[in-house]
């Protein structure tokens, strides 16, 4: 059986992490390796926890995921399953990812993600199938189905898996990104450049626990502009266009030449 690791990066989400752990424990296949990278979160402890000092104002998500992958590979993992800390998993998710990644070693696999409603809290594992309603912006094959995807811009880091061969080919996440936004879109472009495939597995379902958010996320405007500019320099186009347009309507950002800037600064700091 292919040795499989489940990796999570966390800062200040202890309750959501605990719910994720419960869902993993209830799965049909337990991870062979578990790695939790605590970003500037010294209160989080445990045998699976690896600490990475970090500024809470600019969390190094890319560096955290790379550290998680290195730790898992050093522990002998062949398949890497990345989960956002807010995601609980379905009973067959880890098994589905392990089988798919072992079978297709140069493919990045994603599964449908449901955003759970706030009114359904506290979330019980037995209720997850009833609450299943995958996000409409991504493909959502039925359990047992797999579909190919050509649009790498649809890759997201909430829930995905790949074989170590694909991870090595990708080069990992670009650690020049810090703070909110674009590092996962960049990773998708790196995978595409490496000639990897992107596919969706309907049996690898995840359930995103509710937490308050801003729409658009104006508190992250500086990160979005800074990381967006870095992405544009790498790939020739700006990610997070919808958010930037919405923030422009609020007077937080504005267009500048072919890009964007903060209204009260250049977005570099």
CATH topology of domain 4-208: Spore Coat Polysaccharide Biosynthesis Protein SpsA; Chain A (3.90.550)
User: For 126-153, what is each residue's pLDDT tens digit?
Assistant: 999 999 999 999 999 999 999 999 999 9
Q: Look at residue 166 in the predicted model and tell me its pLDDT.
A: 98
For residue 269, is pLDDT > 50?
no
**146-185 burial, b for 16+ CB within 10 Å, e for fewer?**
beebeebeebbbbbbbbbbebbebbebbbeebbbbbbbbb
Q: How many CA atoms lie less than 13 Å away from 89 in the CB half-sphere?
A: 36
Q: Look at residue 132 in the predicted model and tell me its pLDDT.
A: 97
Q: Identify each DSSP E strand in 53-185 by its residue range.
A: 79-83, 87-89, 107-110, 113-115, 146-149, 159-163
Q: Look at residue 214 in the predicted model and tell me its pLDDT.
A: 83
Higher pLDDT, 264 or 11: 11
Q: Look at residue 266 in the predicted model and tell me its pLDDT.
A: 45
For residue 195, is pLDDT > 50?
yes
Tokens of 155: 């890759």
Element (H or E) spanning 50, and its range? Answer: strand 49-52
Q: Look at residue 268 in the predicted model and tell me its pLDDT.
A: 39
Mean local confidence (pLDDT), 207-215: 90
For residues 204 and 89, give the distance between their C-alpha atoms in angstroms, rounded to a whole number.
8
Higher pLDDT, 257 or 101: 101
Mean pLDDT lowest for which of 48-52, 230-234, 256-260? 256-260
Element (H or E) spanning 200, and its range? Answer: strand 197-201
**Percent of the chain clearing pLDDT 70 (strictly above):** 98
| Domain spans of the chain, in order of start | 4-208, 218-262
Residue with tokens 């970003």: 39
Mean pLDDT lowest for which of 55-64, 186-195, 210-219? 210-219
User: For 11-46, what is each residue's pLDDT tens digit?
Assistant: 999 999 999 999 999 999 999 999 999 999 999 999
């Amino acid at each position: 059986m292919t040795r499989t690791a489940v990796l999570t990066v966390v800062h200040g989400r202890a309750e959501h992490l605990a719910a994720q752990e419960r869902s993993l424990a209830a799965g049909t296949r337990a991870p062979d390796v578990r790695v939790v990278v605590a970003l500037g979160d010294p209160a989080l402890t445990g045998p699976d926890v690896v600490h990475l000092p970090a500024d809470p104002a600019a969390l190094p998500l890319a560096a955290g995921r790379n550290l998680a992958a290195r730790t898992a590979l050093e522990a002998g993992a062949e398949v890497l399953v990345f989960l956002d800390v807010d995601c609980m998993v379905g009973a067959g998710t880890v098994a589905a990812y392990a089988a798919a990644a072992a079978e297709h070693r140069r493919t990045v696999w994603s599964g449908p993600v449901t955003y759970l409603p706030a009114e359904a809290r506290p979330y019980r594992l037995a209720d997850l199938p009833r609450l299943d309603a995958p996000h409409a912006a991504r493909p959502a094959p039925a359990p047992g189905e797999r579909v190919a995807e050509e649009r790498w811009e649809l890759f997201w880091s909430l829930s995905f898996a790949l074989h170590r061969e694909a991870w090595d080919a990708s080069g990992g996440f670009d650690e020049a990104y810090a703070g909110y936004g674009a590092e996962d879109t960049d990773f998708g472009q790196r995978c595409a450049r490496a000639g990897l495939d992107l596919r969706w597995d309907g049996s690898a379902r995840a359930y995103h626990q509710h937490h308050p958010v801003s729409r658009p996320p104006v508190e992250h405007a500086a990160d979005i502009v800074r990381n967006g500019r870095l992405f544009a320099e790498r790939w020739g186009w700006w990610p997070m266009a919808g958010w930037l347009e919405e923030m422009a309507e609020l007077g937080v950002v504005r267009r500048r030449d072919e890009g964007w800037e903060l209204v009260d600064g250049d977005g570099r700091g």
